Amino acid sequence: MGTADDTAEEHGHHLPAVEDWPRGFGEASYWPFVTAIGAAGIYVAAALFLLSRGDSPVVPPVAGPAAVVGSVFLFLAGLYGWLYHAFVTGFWSRDADEKSSGTLSFAMLLFLATDVSTFAAGFVYYFFIRVSPVWPAAELPHVLSTLVLVNTAILVASSVTFHFAHTGLHGGNRRQFLGLLGLTFALGLVFVAGQVYEYYLFVVEEGFTLAEGVYGSAFFGLTGLHGLHVVLGVVLIGIIFVRALLGQYSDARDTSVTTVAMYWHFVDAVWILLVVSLYVGASVEF
């Protein structure tokens, strides 16, 4: 039986890097670094956008938009390469879940640990400005709406459907697994659409943007970062849904489902914290 690399080559695919490093932990890849640079560039673009405003702009007005376009392109290109490397090459050989399940689950835990640190930094910034004298309590827009509550219910429901989809797989109920996994994917898409519509209402109709004071920077920074995570999660769920339709999962072969479920439940928990802090907590007087 050929390796995953051999099977990938038969289908015209290739890996960006194939050297084992460290030994036993899969193929080395530069795509995570490309993705990280693109993500960091988005923050730089936001800073350039703020520096281009005001009576004495530090940088030209075009600097921020140009940086965000380049950074988003780099981020998406890196994300594509990363997903291709991690999932598509193994997809052809049906071998992805026969590799070390414990190693892949531990890798996801490490990834989530770094994500906790990333979001924690954003929350620390928000709570710092929340108790500072610059807090613009009288100028806050009305962010808590029916749309937010419905979107929150949708994301929580998607986490529940994902859990019971996984339960169906373990119980040998293929119909339950496929049905609830497909529903999870659809709910994820609806949540993303709802957040895009919410941004449209804020930016276009109400004029509430990233540059609207310290609250605007915290709000769009944290919700935007979370939105990127949700989009990534929807892509991953879509991939495992296609693989599920092709019968590539079983009770003893579900590593991809387990790791993506861990990620999705994490995204769900972070959103609840965001709603409590940014939407509800913003209007509470200290």
Please tell me the predicted confidence (pLDDT) of residue 26: 47
Please tell me the predicted confidence (pLDDT) of residue 137: 54
Place of tokens 């084992």: 20
Domain ranges across the chain: 1-93, 100-286
Q: Encode the chain (286 residues) as per-residue pLDDT tens digits.
A: 444 444 444 444 444 444 433 344 445 667 778 888 888 888 888 788 878 877 778 888 888 888 888 888 888 888 777 766 665 555 445 444 444 566 667 777 777 887 888 888 888 888 888 877 777 655 677 888 899 999 999 999 999 999 999 999 999 899 999 999 999 999 999 999 999 999 998 888 888 777 677 788 888 888 988 998 999 899 989 989 998 998 888 887 888 888 899 999 999 999 999 999 888 877 666 5
Residues 95, 4 contacting (CB under 8 angstroms): yes
Please tell me the predicted confidence (pLDDT) of residue 84: 67
Dist. CA 166–CA 254, nearest whole Å:
9
Which residue from 157, 179, 139, 165 is spatially nearest to 271, judged by alpha carbons?
Answer: 157
In the chain, alpha helices (H): 4-10, 31-51, 63-83, 89-93, 101-130, 146-170, 174-200, 213-245, 255-274
The token pair at 179 is 């049905």
Looking at residue 71, its amino acid is S
Please tell me the predicted confidence (pLDDT) of residue 273: 93
The CATH superfamily label for domain 100-286 reads: Cytochrome c oxidase, subunit III, four-helix bundle (1.20.120.80)
Please tell me the predicted confidence (pLDDT) of residue 249: 86
Please tell me the predicted confidence (pLDDT) of residue 178: 95
Please tell me the predicted confidence (pLDDT) of residue 87: 55
Q: How crowded is residue 38: how many other Cβ atoms within 10 Å of its Cβ?
A: 19
- pTM exceeds 0.75 for this model: no
